[in-house]
Structure 1
């Protein structure tokens, strides 16, 4: 009789992989959360706040200038006559190099002031554009007229242009009389313009007459008359007369498209919200 052989197969469990991947994944998720939080904070802060944060985290040991001031020579070079550093009184008061009537504002400080003013001006311009857009979005026909209303920020301020398009004009042809839709746009803008501190400059432009066509009107009188019409509508809607800095007609001398000065978008009236200018020059500040 043959012996009965029983084979037993031992089942081995899977090897333990450990939890290191979980820790790495948690670190990755935490880093991504911190990154998106940082992006959100950057988008929500103003330029001045960004500058303040940068200065706060700057290493305290670094000097903001490379003049060498604060050392044993108090920023002075060795004189040709020998090792003669500045005396304490000169180093402390600066009397050896400051002339009577000279400004104590350094070029770096003047540049910082200019940059601060520029950042504040840009922020004010963006705020003004947002206020004006919000005022227009309350109009039922704003979506239809959106291509006729152009916002642009420039060095002078914010431009709000009422622009003619093919098939849709803001003024009657050859006339200073605006269409009713143009009047409604201006009346919608007036409350926001009245609240903003900017003075207004209104400028009219027109397209050049095509060669051989009959001129619809004298371009200088036409553009000046349209600019005056815009000023009168805004004034009638509550914008004080003191808010207007100038009303000008440019004729057909400044087309938007110089390569094609005959097309409709060259006909426009631009309301410029002028940036406030500093009454004191930057290099005069002490």
Structure 2
């Protein structure tokens, strides 16, 4: 009995195994960083939408557009064409739009084999004219204040150059077809740019709705008179009269804002028409 009393007791340790609750690594940190980055990009996008004008947003979108040609060999300029003129003999063949004699105007016609009338070649010419006007080729004849009054777009009809009023900065004197100095300056710039091609031109006049209910609303006559005045301004600065195919007054029937009386609806559309339009 005495010997058994001196034996050390046996202690059994039972280790508790916990499954699924241990260390998971750092994958969650990567996922969280991606989430924070996405949220930062989202809020930056929201800020840009509220802090920029329509023209600035269009410029930002065009900057990221893969359709703008980039020249690998710089010609000394910082624009898309490396300092070359968009109508030079070196630039046009490289961009696949053909070439002409120096200074010879071109016509935006399609040379596609399927005979679809207007194809990629016409769009390329319109894009070049647009780039020269809006400065996407590195240089522009427009000042920043004038750029605020212009938006452009390429449609099935052709290249549309839209000029519009801003608050307290109109294109015409109030309720008349008398152009302001701003519109006269814009007419000179547009004429110099559109001389690069020989396409026909259509001019459309639009006005905002009249706030007064009148027995005879003057919007039809006013929109037509303003379109006619633009035709005369372009003729005075060198556009051949035979290029103008039509002059139209649209009154207040095609507003661009939900508020039909908004000054933004006072606008002119100068359209470089596709061949056959």
Q: Provide TM-score, normalisation by structure 1.
A: 0.54
CA change 1:41–1:198 in 2 (3 A) is closer
Q: Map residues 42-121 of structure 1 onto 2, 5 A cutoff.
A: 46=95, 113=114, 117-121=118-122
1:198 aligns with 2:199: yes
CA change 1:216–1:126 in 2 (3 A) is farther
Q: C-alpha distance in 2, partners of 1:117/1:246?
A: 20
2:148 corresponding residue in structure 1: 147
Q: Map residues 213-228 of structure 1 onto 2, 5 A cutoff.
A: 218-228=218-228
- Contact 1:150 1:160 survives alignment (8 Å): yes
Offset of residue 198 of structure 1 = 1.1
Offset of residue 121 of structure 1 = 1.8
Q: C-alpha distance in 2, partners of 1:113/1:239?
A: 33
1:178 corresponding residue in structure 2: 179
- Contact 1:158 1:274 survives alignment (8 Å): yes
Q: Secondary structure of the residue that 1:113 maps to in structure 2?
A: coil
CA change 1:152–1:117 in 2 (3 A) is closer
Offset from partner CA, 1:75-134 (integer Å, 9 cap, x none): xxxxxxxxxxxxxxxxxxxxxxxxxxxxxxxxxxxx962579421121111012123235
1:249 corresponding residue in structure 2: 249
2:87 corresponding residue in structure 1: none
Q: What residue ranges of structure 2 are gaps of 5+ in the alignment?
A: 1-65, 72-93, 99-111
- Contact 1:174 1:217 survives alignment (8 Å): no
CA change 1:215–1:131 in 2 (3 A) is farther
Q: What residue ranges of structure 1 are gaps of 5+ in the alignment?
A: 1-38, 50-110, 279-286
CA change 1:233–1:113 in 2 (3 A) is same
2:260 corresponding residue in structure 1: 261
Larger radius of gyration between Structure 1 and Structure 2? 1
Q: Secondary structure of the residue that 2:185 maps to in structure 1?
A: helix
Which runs of at least 4 in structure 1 moved beyond 2 Å after TM superposition? 39-49, 114-117, 131-139, 214-217
Q: How many residues align?
A: 175
1:234 corresponding residue in structure 2: 234
CA change 1:41–1:157 in 2 (3 A) is closer
Offset of residue 211 of structure 1 = 5.3
1:107 corresponding residue in structure 2: none
Q: Secondary structure of the residue that 2:131 maps to in structure 1?
A: helix
- Contact 2:161 2:269 survives alignment (8 Å): yes
1:137 aligns with 2:136: no
Q: C-alpha distance in 2, partners of 1:181/1:238?
A: 18
CA change 1:40–1:250 in 2 (3 A) is closer
Offset of residue 172 of structure 1 = 0.7
CA change 1:267–1:46 in 2 (3 A) is same
Q: Secondary structure of the residue that 1:225 maps to in structure 2?
A: helix
- Contact 2:210 2:219 survives alignment (8 Å): no
C-alpha RMSD over aligned residues = 3.3
Q: C-alpha distance in 1, partners of 2:69/2:215?
A: 54
Q: Secondary structure of the residue that 1:169 maps to in structure 2?
A: coil
Q: C-alpha distance in 1, partners of 2:145/2:140?
A: 11
Q: Provide TM-score, normalisation by structure 2.
A: 0.55
